[in-house]
Structure 1
């Protein structure tokens, strides 16, 4: 790395599950480029979105702040025109900033001019070629974006290829000064009008029947009804083409001798459970909804190894600023995960990541290395569309991810796991404060009838907690919550 400030290139996919990657367990072989990047760079094994729906997750990725803080706690709400953003922070340091692809943060609705984004709604990006709702202004082979003047631009080729081509042009045009480029792809999101996954010609057929995630296999009746089995070939085909585009992008950096000077980060806004957990694709606390791929390379991330500690993608903004040697603004709520590289530790980092849920229900969740803990506002007490938070929640889900990684056995309400739930409840209450939310009451799950209670093995009785230094244990030792 020379003395020049590192370039930063973020590749964001839409609705991509973490386990579609080879390093995440997929056997279909659709992500060889991502896998190589993860192995040579830094692979965050358990990356979790702060909100399993498009606009709130994207707002967090642009600001490093919680959806309830930015006000974008559901789709259709605009990101504030002023305030700290990724683009403004890098621009202040002399970077040229560019955005390509899907935006979804101008607050526009389908049918309300869902393409052009006014300059004041672009979060400080200087170069611009994007669409507010790309799924409504494009199709697989018809990609229409809008330039800095709001004029439509049609790009040739398959949609993800067209956007990758535009990204390569941006890199070539701005290689002589530090740049931040945010490439936001639509794939592997479904095409809304047809509820289909239009892969490039021949790609659906190549991957049909090649791989089925264990949760979809277990929930196969719901998967068949919702179309998961029918759609997986197209979904995987889309991901394969995106991965090929990632390879072309990295080749372009090599050819311009920018590979060592460019930080590349690849992640997704949220995942997809293919209508097996509710009546659509996300908006649940299950890993299929909230867990996403995350790998980085270049700069300090090359050779960073495997990060096992759960990390929120809210942390990406401060991490990229930190890696570029830039100050992290005080109002950023995320935390840089650079200390975790190379097997490092971050003693002040909580054991869990926090998730806010809206639109389908008002809920909150914690995801630690071992446990998933979910609370939901009782029906009628909070409107999932209009209320960003609730005054009262009830425990609704508890999963032991060591024995049940695909969350098929809900332990909420079991006497055997009451201690676990109590400790997670205390950690959740601390997270509400940390995220700037008002205090709330969390009621225990209704106790299940005795005939449904399970025996707990000796190890679970002895180790009801995941052993990481936060929550009840940390407070007992006098550490800050």
Structure 2
């Protein structure tokens, strides 16, 4: 069927209505446009835009149907015409480690970035590097967070030297730690030569979008890979709070409170209005870039990916906003539209962020390096047998808040932690810590670890977790059973 791309890009009522139709489609439904997109992808290398919004909860996308207060018409329209991965998860729920997994398709313990601070290994192939070898330009605008954090190690929060850019060697307009070189309405990023690019009296999301527009308006001689890496809705670190556009917090003062937060202590009472406003601004940015793609006749030849690195639990699960095994930390939005990904389809299979790079490389017709451990999800779009064979198991590594490991399946979360409280890359000894039934307790309000009636299931998940840990390159650990039901 023909795609009304104009309505889609402008986020009109027609596009919004189509979003509703997409939400109603049965699992696995795919329109004819998907086959047409795949055919086009085989004829030429598509452009790729990877749009990452830091700390954006998956249930704050309206198309996911769980939040009555979200205002995301452009993301909803993207989902209405593309592939909405409704059960995507991060394999490491903190900024830099998650980004290292995204770029290399290796676990954070293998990338050198098992916590915030270290630089990404220069030995591993990256998504940007592989695309560039295949004839793409590789371009970044916004936050990187994969260079050394300390100036003594050749890094710092601002300018990033070429050797630490992970293959983004064409346009570079960013900062290693955007939250340390900018504030919500002013700040500085750096070009590839270290020259400052400043903004003032403009919301940060809009400034980053301006720079992306500037790139997209230029004539592109080669297919391009553009990484647009926004900070919002992540908190501004030195202010210790989220900051939405001016006036947005007042508009969202009575917005819905997600069910996983309502029963928990935390700072969601204060932070949610600004968080809603920041998410709304991200949606407007996505809509604006999609409109520019149409105006520049790039839309039909561009894969557009919307993703986050992790979620946000508003200090309800530990002393900050992520670094836990809960859905509010690990479940992320992932929507892909463009050549090979056209036609409304909801993908319910569990999909880790480790699988993104192989998926995009295959969609671009680029060989996936053997070093990458993820799998392309393209077969799931058209092959029922591939969907049946998909493992639906993801390893989640947790650092900084604890040394922990978890297995996430469609039905269960099972988490273990080093009982000494040590915060290290790995551990040889874990204790059962958390266990949640995703079918009956999706908001994870009841921890089942230690319950006798779930002992058999816990033992099964324990062995599956050990297998995933070994496959990630770590030694098989000892896991001690929980003896008490908390």
Query: Normalising to structure 2: TM-score of the pair?
Result: 0.88
Q: Residue 415 of structure 1 contacts residue 447 of structure 1 at CA under 8 Å; is this kept in 2? A: no
Kindly state the Cα deviation for residue 179 of structure 1 after the two structures are TM-superposed: 0.3
Q: Residue 249 of structure 2 contacts residue 273 of structure 2 at CA under 8 Å; is this kept in 1? A: yes
Give the match for residue 178 of structure 2.
134
Note the alpha carbon deviations across 1:225-265, whole angstroms, 9 max, x for none: xx211110101100101100100000011111111110001
| Aligned with 1:393 (options 387, 405, 430) | 430
Kindly state the Cα deviation for residue 7 of structure 1 after the two structures are TM-superposed: 0.3
C-alpha distance in structure 2 between counterparts of 1:158 and 1:174, whole Å: 27
Kindly state the Cα deviation for residue 343 of structure 1 after the two structures are TM-superposed: 6.7
Count, aligned residues: 440
Note the alpha carbon deviations across 1:417-460, whole angstroms, 9 max, x for none: 11111111111011012211111111211143xxx8xxxxxxxx
The answer as to 2:94 corresponding to 1:57 is no
C-alpha distance in structure 2 between counterparts of 1:10 and 1:317, whole Å: 10
Kindly state the Cα deviation for residue 401 of structure 1 after the two structures are TM-superposed: 1.0
Give the match for residue 296 of structure 1.
336
Q: Look up the SS of the partner of 2:237 in the other structure.
A: coil
Give the match for residue 356 of structure 1.
397
Give the match for residue 145 of structure 2.
104
Kindly state the Cα deviation for residue 348 of structure 1 after the two structures are TM-superposed: 4.9
Q: Look up the SS of the partner of 2:343 in the other structure.
A: coil
Q: Residue 286 of structure 1 contacts residue 407 of structure 1 at CA under 8 Å; is this kept in 2? A: yes
Deviates more, 1:299-308 or 1:390-399: 299-308
Kindly state the Cα deviation for residue 393 of structure 1 after the two structures are TM-superposed: 0.9
Q: Residue 349 of structure 2 contacts residue 387 of structure 2 at CA under 8 Å; is this kept in 1? A: no
Deviates more, 1:200-209 or 1:308-317: 200-209
Give the match for residue 471 of structure 1.
none
Kindly state the Cα deviation for residue 327 of structure 1 after the two structures are TM-superposed: 0.5
| Aligned with 2:305 (options 241, 247, 265) | 265
Q: Give ranges in structure 1 of 5+ residues lacking alignment.
A: 453-481
Q: CA separation of 1:350/1:28 partners in 2, compared to 1, >3 Å: closer, same or farther?
A: same
The answer as to 2:122 corresponding to 1:78 is no
Give the match for residue 18 of structure 2.
none
Q: Look up the SS of the partner of 1:193 in the other structure.
A: helix
The answer as to 2:481 corresponding to 1:444 is yes
Query: Normalising to structure 1: TM-score of the pair?
Result: 0.89
C-alpha distance in structure 2 between counterparts of 1:169 and 1:420, whole Å: 54
The answer as to 2:466 corresponding to 1:425 is no
| Aligned with 2:286 (options 240, 246, 267) | 246
Kindly state the Cα deviation for residue 184 of structure 1 after the two structures are TM-superposed: 0.5
Kindly state the Cα deviation for residue 113 of structure 1 after the two structures are TM-superposed: 3.8
C-alpha distance in structure 2 between counterparts of 1:187 and 1:373, whole Å: 30
| Aligned with 1:115 (options 153, 158, 177) | 158
Give the match for residue 467 of structure 1.
none
Kindly state the Cα deviation for residue 109 of structure 1 after the two structures are TM-superposed: 4.3
Q: Look up the SS of the partner of 2:318 in the other structure.
A: coil
C-alpha distance in structure 1 between counterparts of 2:463 and 2:137, whole Å: 44
| Aligned with 2:51 (options 11, 17, 28) | 11
Kindly state the Cα deviation for residue 346 of structure 1 after the two structures are TM-superposed: 4.2
C-alpha distance in structure 1 between counterparts of 2:122 and 2:251, whole Å: 44
Q: CA separation of 1:34/1:72 partners in 2, compared to 1, >3 Å: closer, same or farther?
A: same
C-alpha distance in structure 2 between counterparts of 1:378 and 1:174, whole Å: 56
Kindly state the Cα deviation for residue 356 of structure 1 after the two structures are TM-superposed: 0.3
Q: Look up the SS of the partner of 1:300 in the other structure.
A: coil
C-alpha distance in structure 2 between counterparts of 1:446 and 1:19, whole Å: 34
| Aligned with 1:47 (options 88, 93, 100) | 88
C-alpha distance in structure 1 between counterparts of 2:187 and 2:362, whole Å: 35
Q: Give ranges in structure 2 of 5+ residues lacking alignment.
A: 1-39
Q: Residue 429 of structure 1 contacts residue 440 of structure 1 at CA under 8 Å; is this kept in 2? A: yes
Q: Look up the SS of the partner of 2:62 in the other structure.
A: coil
C-alpha distance in structure 1 between counterparts of 2:160 and 2:395, whole Å: 30
Q: Residue 46 of structure 1 contacts residue 310 of structure 1 at CA under 8 Å; is this kept in 2? A: yes
C-alpha distance in structure 1 between counterparts of 2:218 and 2:104, whole Å: 26
The answer as to 2:69 corresponding to 1:28 is yes
Kindly state the Cα deviation for residue 409 of structure 1 after the two structures are TM-superposed: 0.3
Q: Residue 57 of structure 2 contacts residue 328 of structure 2 at CA under 8 Å; is this kept in 1? A: yes
Q: Residue 75 of structure 1 contacts residue 107 of structure 1 at CA under 8 Å; is this kept in 2? A: no
C-alpha distance in structure 1 between counterparts of 2:219 and 2:353, whole Å: 27
Q: Residue 349 of structure 2 contacts residue 390 of structure 2 at CA under 8 Å; is this kept in 1? A: no
Give the match for residue 416 of structure 1.
453
C-alpha distance in structure 2 between counterparts of 1:165 and 1:113, whole Å: 25
The answer as to 2:440 corresponding to 1:403 is yes
The answer as to 2:100 corresponding to 1:88 is no
Q: CA separation of 1:421/1:357 partners in 2, compared to 1, >3 Å: closer, same or farther?
A: same
The answer as to 2:185 corresponding to 1:145 is no
Q: Residue 125 of structure 2 contacts residue 369 of structure 2 at CA under 8 Å; is this kept in 1? A: yes
- For the aligned residue pairs, the C-alpha RMSD in angstroms reads 1.6
Q: Residue 64 of structure 1 contacts residue 314 of structure 1 at CA under 8 Å; is this kept in 2? A: yes
Runs of 4+ in 1 over 6 A off after TM superposition: none
C-alpha distance in structure 1 between counterparts of 2:302 and 2:382, whole Å: 19
C-alpha distance in structure 2 between counterparts of 1:436 and 1:273, whole Å: 29
Give the match for residue 202 of structure 1.
247
